[in-house]
């Protein structure tokens, strides 16, 4: 399959990035080391180019109606400048994708979807659109770049580039504003690291100038470019799901811990079946665990009971740079899901002792 390229690929190469295929794109996985980049974001500020993500605009009188039908959260609670985390349930009991929903106005919304699912999500939402008029869908993914500036110093580093008071922006809100000399840039107080910060949506033709402006403004705060390797360890320390690992087309969103964004106060795709599943009780759950023994859990390693019987498998795992121990997530029968429950991770022929913990692994 031909790989897609982000507009700033040459800049990343000049910065020394190792470029790897990811979700159909050639992406920077690291510039220095995953550990250094992880610590930069946790302690100061880093910038990710995540322009592989997808963006759809839905506008018109029926835009909200379609969003309410295809997403599990209640988008009617949104207001102008508010962002909502949600997911697209499929009609088989699994998840098409998880996403962010931005209310630009009551008649215009932006959906931000995972890179690997852009075409799938677009086709799915289109297939659920049975409105004859009052709705326009525009896929702006190919013309949009997205930079995530994350870390405790992100607001200070970015403040010279905008008149919006970044420190006072509430989590999961956004402003459409002038930024780095360009109008109508979306500055969003969101991110996938748990370290605080902002996501900046710009047109492709503005991307290089905006990237350079951010790097210059953040220089005195030690800003560094950060790759997908550190992005993965940062999100895992927060217990954030990664589509394709921890949630997918075959996994129940309720088992995946997405009940908090599943609102049965309105009908949506497959809502009746999910409501019945909730009523009947879940048979398994996604849990976080920390290794007590030394070792690193990896995706697809077996999770076992004390006798070595397989009870599940690791969906995401790593050595936590912050905690200096192995951490992971995986699905286990509900009787093993309480914090403090003992699990074992099978690494080659060894059973490494682990303990279920309450997420996130790293508390803010």
β-pair type (224-225, 46-49): parallel
d(CA 146, CA 285): 33
> What DSSP character marks residue 247?
B
DSSP 170: P
Distances (CA, A) of 300 to 116, 252, 306, 314, 327: 20, 18, 19, 5, 14
The CA distance from 232 to 48, in Å, is: 12
Look at the block and give the residue holding tokens 């420190």. Answer: 167
Q: Judging by DSSP bridges, how do beta strands 325-333 and 284-291 pair with one another?
A: antiparallel
Q: Please count the other Cβ atoms lying within 10 Å of the Cβ belonging to residue 76.
A: 12
Backbone dihedral region of 5: left (phi > 0), alpha (psi from -120 to 50 degrees) or beta? beta
32 three-class SS = coil
- Tokens 């507009």 correspond to 7
What is the C-alpha separation between 113 and 129, in angstroms, rounded?
18
Could you give the CA distance from residue 123 to residue 88 in angstroms, rounded to a whole number?
A: 12
Residue 132, annotated ligand binder?
A: no
In Å, what is the CA distance from 220 to each residue of 138, 199, 214, 337? 39, 20, 11, 45
- 8 Å CB contact between 173 and 186: no
Instruction: Check whether the bond before 360 is cis (ω within 30° of 0).
Output: yes
198 φ, ψ (degrees, to nearest 5): -140, 155
What are the backbone dihedrals phi and psi of residue 15, each rounded to the nearest 5 degrees, phi first?
-85, 0
Distance of CA 56 to the CA centre of its chain: 16
Q: Crossing angle of helices 34-43/228-237, nearest 10°?
A: 60
Query: Which residues does the annotation place in the binding site for substrate?
Result: 199
What residues are designated binding site?
A: 199
């Amino acid at each position: 399959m031909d790989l897609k390229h982000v507009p700033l690929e040459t800049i990343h190469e000049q910065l020394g990035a190792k470029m790897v295929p990811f979700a159909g794109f050639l992406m920077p996985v690291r510039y220095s080391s995953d550990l250094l980049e992880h610590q930069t974001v946790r302690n100061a500020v880093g910038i990710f180019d995540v322009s592989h993500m997808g963006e759809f605009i839905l506008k018109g009188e029926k835009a909200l109606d379609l969003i309410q039908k295809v997403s599990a959260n209640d988008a009617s609670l949104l207001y102008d400048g508010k962002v909502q985390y949600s997911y697209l349930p499929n009609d088989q009991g699994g998840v098409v994708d998880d996403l962010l929903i931005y209310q630009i106005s009551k008649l215009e919304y932006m959906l931000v979807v995972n890179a690997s699912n852009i075409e799938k999500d677009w086709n799915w939402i289109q297939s659920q659109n049975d409105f004859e008029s009052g709705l326009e869908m525009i896929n702006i993914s190919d013309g949009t770049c997205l930079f995530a500036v994350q870390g405790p110093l992100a607001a200070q580093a970015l403040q010279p580039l905008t008149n919006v008071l970044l420190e006072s922006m509430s989590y999961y809100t956004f402003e459409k504003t002038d930024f780095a000399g360009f109008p109508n840039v979306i500055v969003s107080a969101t991110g996938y690291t748990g370290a605080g910060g902002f996501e900046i949506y710009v047109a492709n033709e503005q991307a290089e100038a905006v990237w350079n402006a951010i790097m210059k403004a953040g220089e005195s705060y030690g800003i560094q470019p950060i790759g997908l390797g550190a992005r993965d360890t940062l999100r895992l320390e927060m217990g954030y799901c990664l589509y394709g690992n921890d949630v997918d087309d075959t996994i129940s969103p309720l088992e995946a811990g997405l009940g908090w964004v599943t609102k049965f106060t309105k009908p949506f795709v497959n809502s009746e079946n999910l409501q019945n599943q909730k009523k009947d009780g879940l048979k398994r759950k996604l849990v976080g665990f920390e290794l007590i023994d030394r070792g690193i859990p990896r995706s697809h390693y077996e999770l076992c009971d004390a006798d070595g019987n397989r009870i599940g498998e690791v969906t995401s795992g790593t050595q936590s740079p912050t905690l200096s121990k192995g951490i992971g997530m995986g699905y286990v029968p509900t009787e093993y899901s309480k914090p403090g429950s003992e699990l074992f991770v099978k690494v080659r022929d060894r059973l490494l002792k682990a303990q279920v913990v309450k997420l996130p692994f790293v508390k803010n």
